[in-house]
Amino acid sequence: MHLSSTILMAAAGAAAQSTFDLSDLPAFIKSSSSTNWPTLLNIGQQIWNDPEVGLNETHAHDRIVKYFSSVGGWTVSPSAYPGLPTAFKAEFDNRPSGFTGDLPTVGFLAEYDALVGIGHACGHNLIALNGMSAAKFASEALAHYGIPGRIIVIGTPDEENAAGKFKLNNLGAFNGSDVWLMAHPTVTSAIQPMNARLNYFARFVGGTHSEAVSKAYDALDIVQNLSGLPGTSSSAVGIENVGVYATNIVQSIIKLGVAGLSLDTVNSTVSGILDSTYPNVTFSAATDADGVALTILGPGGHASEATKSPLTLSVNTYNALKNSSGVSFYLPGNTSVTELDITIDFRTRYTADLNSVANFASAALGTLPAGISHDVQYPSLEVTPFLGQAFIDIVGTPDYGLANFPATTLAPASTDASWVQDPVLDPVTHELKSVAKAVLHANYGICTNPSGAGCPFNHEPLFKGLANTDFAYQQTEIVARAEAQLAVELLADPSQMAQAVAIVLK
């Protein structure tokens, strides 16, 4: 992406270079980490051990607030924003004697919500740990070098399901800084964009339970087989709103009942469908009072992934049996309901295409749903000029040792940090024109294999274990030190800060 000549001239005309000697800054931050990391690590591990879903992250909120309240120089506001009781603000000001100007500011974002049913299988315990640690290391460096500056940490609840940063943004939580830094654990490292996302909630009503199930499964089949979606790298994933589910998780357990056929027939049908294209999916079948109850198990995963899941197998089983004489379907243990809901998770590379993707799917569903509603969209997150490369340059040095940290155009998932950035793109070329805030969203690998091979992806249940390994914590400590160095260099050097915020719309 390219900046306009006006922006480049503004950056070139920035204030003089830093007058601070930061030649030993990496060593100082490493020393700060050696002192502070054990306490910070313990908090991160406590958050992992005590997973809390969005807007219920009471213990995570309290532990982080207690920490910043216990260290000198920080002003802490618990439950700082109306309607978001588990959001907080912590602020550190360093104003050297004789400095009377406005303090340059860098903010850090801390997430700590877990996934429904599977705990910290996205690693938000590490996002909280990174934000806390980078902010603490940076604050100590400001004091040590006498650099005027402000560090802000915002605790941002409910990233997974309800775009907590959308609500915080509307409350002005990010107005205190034009630069916000965070880091997200995943299987491989990259500075990269993130997709736009929108969820549709479709409601199906039947005169009987079996009719409602058939309508919902007909809709799931339509979604599963959508082709020709508009936009770039667009996807639509169905989620059955029964049992343990969430809007952005591929379910790991699906139950479907078949009435009117023998156990042997159902068993042989499912066995004929299940093959090696369903990774680690298994099933069992047993008779119950209503027919043959299928239980299908699988690894689950991220709603942006296209792997064949337990739900995929259940939909294909439904299709294989639905035209058999005398057959009907039911939900084992749930046969009294005559209304069922499904969620359709839409992803596409660019925000401008979200509505056309959703409208395409709505047209395909036709009159099947009795009603459709939707949640708040997650805009795409773009790679902010300067910040991404500046971070890569730092983290690849021998002081940090993460040389395999590329910049890519692949968008692996979505994030509500896009609401902080709020990018404006050219509608034709998709060139980034401006942002509300300059945001660094560094995705860093916590798989010991740098390629990610052999490791579970975010939202797969096994990723929970990955997010609590020694290696994951080691990687988090390194990335936190690198982000702390970036923050200090921005605050010490007006010309670097000018380059970082040149894309910010004033």
Those residues whose C-beta lies under 8 Å from the C-beta of residue 290, and which sit 6 or more positions away, are 257, 259, 330, 332, 335
The radius of gyration of the chain from alpha carbons, rounded to an integer in Å, stands at 25
What share of the chain in percent tops pLDDT 70? 96
1-7's contacts with Cβ under 8 Å and 24+ in sequence apart are 1/382, 1/383, 1/385, 1/431, 1/432, 2/431, 3/385, 3/502, 3/503, 7/502, 7/503
Within 111-224, strands assigned E span 149-155, 179-186, 190-191, 196-205
Check pLDDT > 60 for residue 16: no
Contact between 452 and 188 (Cβ < 8 Å): yes
Give pLDDT tens digits for 85-116.
999 999 999 999 999 999 999 999 999 999 99
Cα–Cα distance for residue pair 229/361, rounded to 1 Å: 8
Assigned token pair, 295? 């239980």
313 pLDDT band (50/70/90 cuts)? very high
pLDDT value of residue 244: 67
Give pLDDT tens digits for 443-478.
999 999 999 999 999 998 899 999 999 999 999 999
Domains of the chain, start order: 5-13+21-194+380-501 (3.40.630.10), 196-374 (no CATH)
Helix/strand/coil (H/E/C) assignment for every residue in 47-114: HHHCCCCCCCCHHHHHHHHHHHHHCCCEEEECCCECCECCCEEEEEEECCCCCCCCCCEEEEEECCCC
Cα–Cα distance list, 108 to 91, 248, 320 (Å): 10, 25, 51
Round the average pLDDT of the chain to a whole number and report it. 94
Give pLDDT tens digits for 358-390.
999 999 999 999 999 999 999 999 999 999 999
pLDDT value of residue 366: 97
Distance of CA 317 to the CA centre of its chain: 32
Contact between 248 and 160 (Cβ < 8 Å): yes
